[in-house]
Structure formats: structure tokens, C-alpha cells
Structure 1
Amino acid sequence: MLSIETANEDDLVQTADLHKRNLRLGLFPRLGRHFLRHYQESFLRSPYGIALVTRDEDDRISGALFGTTANAEHYRWVVRNCGWELAMAGGAALVTRPAVAIDFAGSRAGRYLRGIGRRLIPRSAVRGPQASSAPLPVLSHIVTRQDTRRSGIGRRLVERFRRLAGAEGADRAVLVTEAGGLGAPFFERIGCICEAERRDEDGHVLRQYRLTLDPIETHAPYDPSPRTHAGLLVDHDAARQRAGLVGAHPG
């Protein structure tokens, strides 16, 4: 029977391999499995991260999903708490991949540095619309083993993400996928709405989709102040219990 669980560190070897083999768009897969493990671990550690896996009856991971409940706060937390680890892993990968390093320097380095700088600014110093904006969840990555596709695993992972992200108070999430890839038809089949198209640094056409979330209960106004990791895990567990998700196995 298929189970959907919160990922743990022991799962990252398999989930990084799934990511590397099946999600080749963008820079991160080109940095290799070691970097991907560090990157995926940031979703496990962040109080704003969601990391899910599906296991089959042989206890093998058949799918994985990584996302956030509040994307800006997630990356602010990651820069402050995992930044050096990710920088070292990424730097080591670039040293052994000179072609990727040249491409990174020409197409992404400036944007990454500006983004890191913005996230080092204390939130209390942020002005403008971002200062009072509601949390925006993002479904960052979803991947399944090739031999398990069209078996409902991806849909079940997305449904679990909708409940967990909705439990934090948001009513929608966004995701981005390649226009001509396998992701776009899947997301359209499950009801996602395409909001925009753009080209990335490598010239690929990307589509941004809106995913409606499942609010579980009435929430207090969004409080962007950092919470402890353990405290948020308690909140997440309570939300899962209210939704009947703890230990649940989809039929």
C-alpha cells in the first residue's frame, strides 16, 4: 500500500537521485546529487518548508515533493541558516564543472547575489508591498519514478501539499514548469490555472500556474515573525491531525 510521509534525511539520497534523473530544467540538477541533497535538506530544516515522499510496499521511494508554506520567509530563513552550506556545496560543484560555472557567471550570478542581499535585510526594515504581503506558498518540485507514473502518486502528493499549505492560512499556491514538458499537462489535468508565460535564462518557455489550496480552519492574521523549527513542527502536526492526515494511507 502506498504511504505519503514527511521526508527525512535518510531519504535524501533517493530523492536527490530522482531529481537529478527526472527534473533537468534549471541550474540545480547540473550541480549534481551532492548539491541537490543539501538543497532538499533545506526544505526539511526550514520552518516554512514542506518535504514529502511516497513509499511503496517495498519501502522504496516512488515520488517526492518539495515546497514552501511562505516562500519569501522560507528563503530568508534558508539564506540565514543554510546559506554557507549551500554556497560551499554549490561552489564545489562549479569547480568541477567549468562549463556550468561559466554559464552561471554569465546568466545567474548577479541575480543570485541580489536575492541573497535582499534576504539578509531584516524583515522589519522591508518597506512597500512586501512588508505586509500575505504568505505565498510555492510548490517547488514534484517528481515520481518513471515506472510509477500515471498511477496517481503525483496527484496524491499535490493533494497533501494543498492541505499542508492551506493549513498555514493561504488560499493559493504557485508553481512553475516548462511549457513543453510533462509537468504542464499534469498540472492542467488536476485543475491548475496558467497565469503567465516567460523565458528563463536558458531560453526555455516556462508557465506559471495557480493552485487552489484547501484551508482547514479559520486562521489568525499572518504573523511573519520567525518561529522555532520545533514549534512549527508542532503546529504542522496539529494541522495534520485536524485534517486526518497523520498516518493516513491514500486508497
Structure 2
Amino acid sequence: MIQRVSNIPNPRSLVVIRQATEEDLRLMASYLIRYLPEGLFPRLGHRFVRRWMQTFLSEQYGVALVAVTNDAPRQQVGFLIGSTNQGRHVADVLHQHKQSLLLAGLSALCLRPRVLLHFLRTRARPYLRRILGRTHAPDAGTTSQPATAVITSVVVLPTVRGGGIGGLLVEEFLERAGADQASLAELVTTAGAAGAGTFYEKLGWTCVEERHSKDGTPIHAYHRSLR
């Protein structure tokens, strides 16, 4: 049934989009590492990625969604993580989870010398400045500026891509972002055929910038107005 997704005009009849749970994190972490290996976090391994993903479950502005098949057994075929207010979400995570994430990250780096060297070359200074800096209570820096929602990662299994599941995940995220009064949604994806720019453009997103990631990979930034 799963392999017939691309031939079904209404993917809602095949999958359910729901809030992720702790039990979903194992597969979510595995999918991220396998299908979105770019960047630092996937290189830190399954345990760190799972711990990082937990912050999208526990914090107010975090969003963690999964797409599961509507038949038995219910199989997880995709997920989305992001935040409906990126500034507040980052502040919450640093306030509540800075020490545990720091310990998890250091442990992962110590087990991976090559990743550690790469981290020291590309990210050490800004990461340490943020981690070692003073962390304020989440409401201490509240401003009147409109909130910006950010999609961090979207994964749909290759066997079911093209059936609209990714669009349903993004649609649910945008509804939650709008409910939290976000005025703009942002994301970045790898430039060219290796990225998902065409997918997002079909959903109404606009490419606003091309730059390079900390690893030197060309990436495109996309915006979607929520007003």
C-alpha cells in the first residue's frame, strides 16, 4: 500500500499527520542521519540527534510532526521539526537544555575525532560563545517584533515521495505557525538538484538568498509570508 502513494490523488486518505512522541524519536533520528546527512548534528550520531529532537517536543514553540500510514501496522513515513517562533524557541532551549545538550555534544565529539577537528575549524568559536554566554529566562527578552517560524528539517521516505505527504507536513506546520502569530516562515535547503527547492517553490515559497553553509555547501534560503 505504501508504494502506491504517488498514484493516489488525496494523500490524506493514506496517512495521518500527528504530533510526534518520545517513541517516534528513534526513527526520526535515524531518518535524519540517513536522508539529511549534511551539517554537524547528523555527524554527532543517533544519541545526540535524538536528544536534540526532544527539545522540539518539550518546548512551547517547538513543532515535531510525524506522518504515519493509516493502515496497520502504522508505519512512520516522514517527519517535520521546526519552531513557530525561532527566537523564543532558541532562548527556551538554551535556558532549559544547554547543559544536557553540551554534555551530549561533547561526548559525541570525543568519540569522533574527525568530526571534532571539523567542528574546531568551522564552528567552535560561535558555538562556544553562545553556549558559554549568559542565558536569560525565556520571557526576559520578549520584544514586540513579529515572530518568525523556521522549518528545521523535513524528511519523507523515498518510497513514498511524490504523493503529497511532505506538503501535508508543511501545511500543518504553517497552520501552527499562524496560530502562534508568526508573520513569516523560513527554511534553508541545499542548492540545486540535491536540495528540495523545487518542492518548496511548488508550495508557494520564495527563494530569497543563496549562500554557503559553514561546511562550504551552497544553500538557498526560502521565505513564506503568513500574513
TM-score bracket, shorter-length normalisation: 0.7 to 0.9
Query: Which residue number in structure 2 is paired with residue 138 of structure 1?
Result: 150
Deviations 1:141-176 (A, max 9, x none): 100111111111100000000100000112321001
> Which residue of 123, 138, 149 maps to 1:108?
123
Quote how far apart the aligned CAs of 1:132 are: 3.6
1:208 aligns with 2:221: yes
Quote how far apart the aligned CAs of 1:115 are: 2.8
TM-score, scaled relative to structure 2: 0.87
Aligned length: 211
Provide the alpha-carbon RMSD of the alignment. 1.8
In structure 2, C-alpha distance between the alignment counterparts of 1:15 and 1:112, rounded to whole Å: 24
Distance 1:17 1:179, change over 3 A: same
- Does the CA contact (< 8 Å) of 1:178 and 1:204 recur in 2? yes
| Larger strand share, 1 or 2 | 2
SS of 2:37's partner is coil
Runs (5+) with no aligned partner, structure 2: 1-13
1:41 aligns with 2:41: no
- Does the CA contact (< 8 Å) of 1:75 and 1:119 recur in 2? no
> Which residue of 57, 80, 88 maps to 1:65?
80
TM-score, scaled relative to structure 1: 0.79
Deviations 1:26-63 (A, max 9, x none): 10011111111001111001111011001012211100
1:175 aligns with 2:187: yes
Query: Which residue number in structure 2 is paired with residue 80 of structure 1?
Result: 95
Quote how far apart the aligned CAs of 1:117 are: 5.0
SS of 2:207's partner is strand
Deviations 1:119-144 (A, max 9, x none): 71456775xxx944221110111001
Distance 1:167 1:21, change over 3 A: same
- Does the CA contact (< 8 Å) of 2:68 and 2:75 recur in 1? yes
Identical-pair percentage = 37
1:173 is aligned with what amino acid?
A
In structure 2, C-alpha distance between the alignment counterparts of 1:124 and 1:47, rounded to whole Å: 12
